[in-house]
Structure 1
């Protein structure tokens, strides 16, 4: 039976073999039984969100002219022989006057006019004042058309990728995402990255709508990238399936992780031996273990005993993180059953061979 036990197939190490790797037994991993204290410390994980520099940027005025914008000008003169108005007409239209990179436009007889940073109304007054010196009581209308200066680019998992102008209805992130048709993946696992110059920040798509401060104002040249969450954990051992499992929500507990892979195997799993393997940073490891002289990343093995009082609650509150390995050991009875099956199977084979040999006599 001992030889049979050593040679039997199994889904992974036993609980005793895992405990043998503890630092208390000259191993290199800290083995910790999960309770409320462990849950509180280990739940720390990097949070997604926008920095204050994005949040406090302030909404751009919808009429503020930027370099690259296109303006439309209409000028009326109260004389028959005007400076700009053709003979027989009372107005002239200057379409698609582009604001140059320095923020100026050129208007005949008015010269170079500073447009960037001003509203169309301010530009109208400047042009009127310049022309009034040469023609009596000119009337000027300035319209801000869609230009290539105040634009953002949107790529990734949205309905319509492209370059969009920042206009009155689309001055914030949520409105611009709606303008692009919304996301094409599950909102729960969608991440939105905003790139502005040398700054980059990422937030959950749902947080943009749940937290008004995350609906940040946009700036010309912003790049918006929508991507699916890439986090995953590995499930091994006596579970319904053994696989690399992607996260299906922003947070996932150990209990949810087990359920996501089909639960514990009813024929082989040991509910006292659910292990989560993780590399913890130095600061977290020191708090977990109480060892102050730890240096660098530490190997931590968390133990979840679902048969303990409150064991299911501890598992429900234990947060699974990216790249975790969830391993469920086999029950001792499962190995015993395999031994019996191996022995009885061997004896059955001997009987079959003996019967066949008798038949040939």
Structure 2
């Protein structure tokens, strides 16, 4: 005869099954995308396939501009040029007697600390203004010698330049030794500056190098700068270099290997790489057919002709059991701010129910044996 307590326990299991509200660590796919076909649905669902992945790549980018803007390398000549604000030191030699420049007992005169004016000129006694901005130090020396010949038969000039603001660059922050650094020549590269500034601070994760020049900003990830020789650009006077953390991230939730905020470790991350960064999906819980990428667009991004999103909220779906979807997902980039969710398999709920039933039956059997 069945024990009354066992019967009562069975009723309790049936109540749990009927309620169908079991504790879970992630949503089931159907729960996330329910009501997708309603006309008033706030979102659309777009499966990622080989047939549409190329078109999806043309949709508006979200979370950033879509790529970092870096300039082409322009080595320029190997000699520096004089700029306004530089300090010039002149030593003029004149061996003739009764020289206009030197005294009776000396053969040279030193003119130090001459600042190149905003119009690019310096004042030299007896020849007035000499424009030297844009000239190399050697060319400026020859030019001064040539103009001095009108008053000095055989002058010889020594010229030294101390770089001013227009011939210096600023390592603003993100370095172990920030500061202002003169450009020793026109081939002074950004890697040379970073070395002089003590390298990138160890406290920065995923560092991004930014150069501000003439009101424009140029960015590159530090790893790409180190790996690509062509990215080692030549600096110009007035450049400001800032190193800061790449603040882009996506969020991983659900039955992924880990639920966390994931920083971008490279310039672009595709959907498969995003899953790899969170240790894939939980084999015991996840629905491999229901990996979802949730993204927000602005109203100005919407395209009525179907060439872009038709709603501001879009759910992109990846089926990890389909080779077609897997190959397409390798070409689909996750954007900063995206939510990557691995939905839970409905089988997990069934297993939970059977587990509960098994527990109750075990209790019932124990009661019967008493």
TM value normalised by structure 1: 0.81
> Which position in structure 2 is the counterpart of 1:301?
315
* Per-residue deviation, residues 60-107 of structure 1 (Å, max 9, x unmatched): 773321011122211111224433334323223333322133322222
Are 1:332 and 2:346 counterparts?
yes
Alignment of 1:1-361 (within 5 A): 1=14, 3-4=16-17, 5-24=19-38, 26-44=40-58, 45=61, 46-50=66-70, 55=72, 59=76, 62-168=79-185, 170-184=187-201, 189-208=206-225, 214-280=231-297, 286=303, 291=306, 298-343=312-357
Q: Is the 8 A contact 2:165 2:237 kept in 1?
A: no
Cα distance in 2 for residues equivalent to 1:293 and 1:122: 58
TM-superposed CA distance for 1:36, in Å, is 1.3
Higher relative contact order (CA 8 A, sep 6+): 2
SS in 1 for 2:170: strand
Cα distance in 2 for residues equivalent to 1:254 and 1:2: 40
Q: Is the 8 A contact 1:170 1:176 kept in 2?
A: no
Q: CA RMSD in A?
A: 3.6
Q: Is the 8 A contact 2:77 2:186 kept in 1?
A: no
Distance 1:257-1:218 versus aligned 2 partners, 3 A rule:
same
Q: Is the 8 A contact 2:78 2:186 kept in 1?
A: no
Structure 2 segments unaligned to the other structure (5+ residues): 1-13
Q: Is the 8 A contact 2:247 2:263 kept in 1?
A: yes
Cα distance in 1 for residues equivalent to 2:29 and 2:101: 91
SS in 1 for 2:273: helix
Q: Is the 8 A contact 2:50 2:325 kept in 1?
A: no
SS in 1 for 2:180: strand
SS in 2 for 1:323: coil
TM-superposed CA distance for 1:313, in Å, is 3.0
TM-superposed CA distance for 1:206, in Å, is 4.7
Q: Is the 8 A contact 1:193 1:200 kept in 2?
A: yes
Cα distance in 2 for residues equivalent to 1:319 and 1:291: 20
Higher share of residues assigned helix = 1
Cα distance in 2 for residues equivalent to 1:91 and 1:122: 21
Distance 1:212-1:261 versus aligned 2 partners, 3 A rule:
closer
